Amino acid sequence: MHALEPYYAWRNHYIASDDPQSPFYNRVYNEFAYHLKVYDHYIHPQWDEFGSQTLYTKVLYADYDEGYAVLEFIGEWNDCLFNDIMLLKREVIDPLMEGGISKFVLIGENVLNFHHSDDAYYEEWFDEVMDADGWIALLNFREHVLADMQAIDLDSYFVLGGELNEMGWRTFTPEQLCRRIDDCVEHRWGLLN
């Protein structure tokens, strides 16, 4: 796991540690000391900690004018033991929303497991983005993680599945990816109405 870096090819578009509105503003990274862990496995020091013991993130892109943010994750999403959704919502999502973000792309190909608790923070987040004409899209999460989320109806708060499960997102610029997912969301919601 120590070799899995957050996606770095968009650094010419956005760097969270350089963004005064980012919850990770002025964060300094030590490339030579591995200190972050998921249980007993060290992970790359470029991941950002936000209070969880098992889940880390990286804000790959934020566009406050357009209202988009792309976050990549690694680890185990554990609401049951560590209330990861509460920590994510309060420490990362709320500051981004205060800056005008209402459309979230969550990349989960490195999320290994999901353990649920209740859905209060998911519902709160969903209601807030809906009030701002936004959405939360899950991109490339593992099938068993999505199945665990769907088993407790968390899929009612997220846009997921279909094209979003197999999107080669690294081939896009961040702007192209956000527009592509926005089109997917609009198409799906258009079918529901």
Closest CA to 80 of 115, 121, 123, 119: 115
CATH topology of domain 62-192: Transcription Regulator spoIIAA (3.30.750)
Amino acid 32: pLDDT: 82
pLDDT digits 0-9 by tens, 152-192: 999 999 999 889 998 999 999 999 999 999 999 988 766 55
Question: Which residues does residue 159 pair with via DSSP β-bridges, in sequence order?
Answer: 137
pLDDT digits 0-9 by tens, 81-135: 999 999 999 999 999 999 999 999 999 999 999 999 999 999 999 999 999 999 9
Dist CA 158 CA 135 (whole Å): 7
End-to-end CA distance of the chain: 43
Q: Where are the domains of the chain?
A: 62-192
